[in-house]
Amino acid sequence: MFQVQVSARALSPFVELVGVERVEAVARAAAVARAAIGPHTVWNVNSTAAGGGVAEIIRSLLRYARGVGVEVRWLVIEGPPEFFAITKRLHNALHDNAGDGSVLGAREAALYERVLAQNFAEIERLLRPGDAIICHDPQTAGLVPHLRRLGERVVWRCHIGHEGPGAEADAGWAFLRKYLEEVPIAVFTRSAYVPSWFPCAHAVTIPPNIDPFSVKNQWMPEPSTRAVLGTAGLVERGGACCSVYVREDGATEEVTRRAEVIRVGGPPAWSTPLVVQISRWDRMKDHAGLLAGFARLIEQGQDLGSELVLAGPAQRGVADDPEGPEVLREVTRAWGELPDGVRRRVHLAELPMADADENAAIVNALQRHAAVVVQKSLREGFGLTVTEAMWKRRPIVASAVGGIQDQIRDGVEGLLVHDPTDPAETASALGRILASPALADTLAGAAHERVRERYLSLTALERWGALVQLLYT
């Protein structure tokens, strides 16, 4: 187990986005919550410090909580590969997906509990009576009974889920149920994700958020975008600008590392329209389905010379996702089976993870340069990459699954694919946006406004402040 350091950040930059009255109201609410919490610490516990949306959400909330004077800290649990194989299986199950199909039985529960008991022994030394602990996702659910026995204030936050019953979802919840039955409060992304056995009075809904001032979402002018992507090897190099970005600590830095890209030939020209999906290498992101949809787009002559970039983290950089390398190999095989004319226009990119801020800058640049951002998931608790692209005023094609249905109204903030398994529907949606700059601009403008109203970290801070305050009343 280790602790992640997060620096404080003031709320004042939000004034330009939402107005001074809104920011002052959040600051007043934060003062009330701070007084209720008193000298205690609010701890967040999860399984990775980088490489996924949960880590980004935690970092965003903690920096602004620290900025308003709340003592918050962040712990990351550790364990052997076998532990993370089990938690990945649980992650898939809660999406009603079989994943690798492995058993979730007594032996797996014993290993799961043993690893979390070891982590708890370290956590216990840091806690003081009266502290609050927010445990994130299936990886940490087994900590809840230990924390409850200490008498600590506990919240379990589930970022994933599936609408309605399903055999795999039921199996996942059956594995986790005994750890969660006595949790005072559980936070879900959508009310539809609350399991039927969980007491409704203990369930709270808070959608995920993005930080508009993080490295991944900060404004990046076009010359810097071009330089960053050129340095990373994702487009042809050109122009005299440096590949600079502003780090989380405010320092100016340059992107220096290159992505590892599987392609035929060189990178696309700057003028080439890019269709971009950025996600973990996860079967539920349906990279193979997007390859099929892009191939259909070209076959129908609707591509307008576009090229497809499937980007994800370098596989050495994500500790809690053991399936990633295998999925990337599967995607690479599917790419290799494409017709030559299609394969030459598809790029599989592993983005460098050695420096989290550098990785975020590359993602930022790639999203900002995209002609269309895609999230063609088969399951999706909530699409953070969708929110990021919406904030950057990019037109979006996404599957009508999970939380994406809350984020995007079809034809208003983006185009939804109602049957993600149909390559023709994906191709049609991509073709409509590529063929109509006016439609692209209209969707992108509405998307930006929806994020400003609903999905910024300021709103999430307000909701979490009210929730934590309840723990102390």
- Looking from the CA of 70 toward its CB, the CA atoms found within 13 Å total 33
pLDDT tens, 144-200? 999 999 888 999 999 999 988 899 999 999 999 999 998 999 999 999 999 999 988
Tell me how far apart the alpha carbons of residues 143 and 151 are, in angstroms, rounded to a whole number. 13
Residue 298 in contact with residue 345, Cβ under 8 Å? yes
**How much is the average pLDDT of 258-272?**
96
CB under 8 Å to 125, separation ≥6 — which residues? none
Ranges in the chain annotated CATH 3.40.50.2000: 2-209+456-471, 260-454
| Tokens matching residue 297 | 């787009």
Angstrom distance (rounded) from CA 203 to CA 187: 6
Closest alpha carbon to 137 in 105, 106, 95: 95
The DSSP secondary structure of 222-288, one letter per residue, reads HHHHHHHHHHTTSS---SS---EEE-TTS-EEE--PPPEEE-SSSPPPTTS-EEEEE--S-GGG-HH
Residue 207: pLDDT over 60: yes
Decide if pLDDT at 319 tops 80: no
Residue environment code for 219-240, b if the CB has 16+ CB neighbours within 10 A, otherwise e:
ebeeebbbbbbbbbbbbeeeee
Question: Which CATH number does 2-209+456-471 carry?
Answer: 3.40.50.2000
Q: What is the pLDDT of residues 415-435, one digit of tens each?
A: 999 999 999 999 999 999 999
Q: What is the pLDDT of residues 70-101, one digit of tens each?
A: 999 999 999 999 999 999 999 999 999 998 89
Return the closest-CA partner of residue 90 out of 144, 198, 204, 170.
Answer: 170
Name the residue among 390, 429, 394 with its Cα closest to residue 408: 390
pLDDT at 151: 85
Average of pLDDT values for 195-222?
93
pLDDT at 248: 86
Contacts of 389 (CB under 8 A, 6+ apart): 367, 370, 373, 396, 447
Q: What local confidence, expressed as pLDDT, does residue 383 receive?
A: 87
Q: What is the mean pLDDT of residues 285-290?
A: 96
Mean pLDDT to the nearest integer, 220-224: 94
- How much of the chain exceeds pLDDT 70, in percent? 98
If 0-12 CB within 10 Å is exposed, 13-18 middle and 19+ buried, where does residue 110 land?
exposed
CA distance 207 to 211: 13
Element (H, E) at 67: helix 53-67
CA-based diameter of the chain, in Å?
66
Say how many C-beta atoms besides its own lie within 10 A of residue 200's C-beta: 8
Average pLDDT (457-466) is: 92
Q: Residue 467 and residue 471: Cα distance in Å, rounded? A: 7
The C-alpha atoms of residue 175 and residue 186 are separated, in whole angstroms, by 17
Helices 287-299 + 324-336 axis angle, to 10? 20
Q: Which fold has domain 260-454?
A: Rossmann fold (3.40.50)
Main-chain dihedrals φ then ψ at residue 185, nearest 5 degrees: -140, 135
pLDDT band with cut points at 50, 70 and 90 for residue 318: low
Rg (CA), the chain: 22
Q: Residue 262: phi, psi to the nearest 5?
A: -95, 120
- Residue 242's identity, in one-letter code, is C
- DSSP letter at 419 equals -
Contact 448, 191 (CB under 8 A): no
**DSSP-derived secondary structure letter, 420:** T
Q: Residues 67-78: pLDDT tens digits?
A: 999 999 999 999
pLDDT tens profile 354-375: 998 999 999 999 999 999 999 9
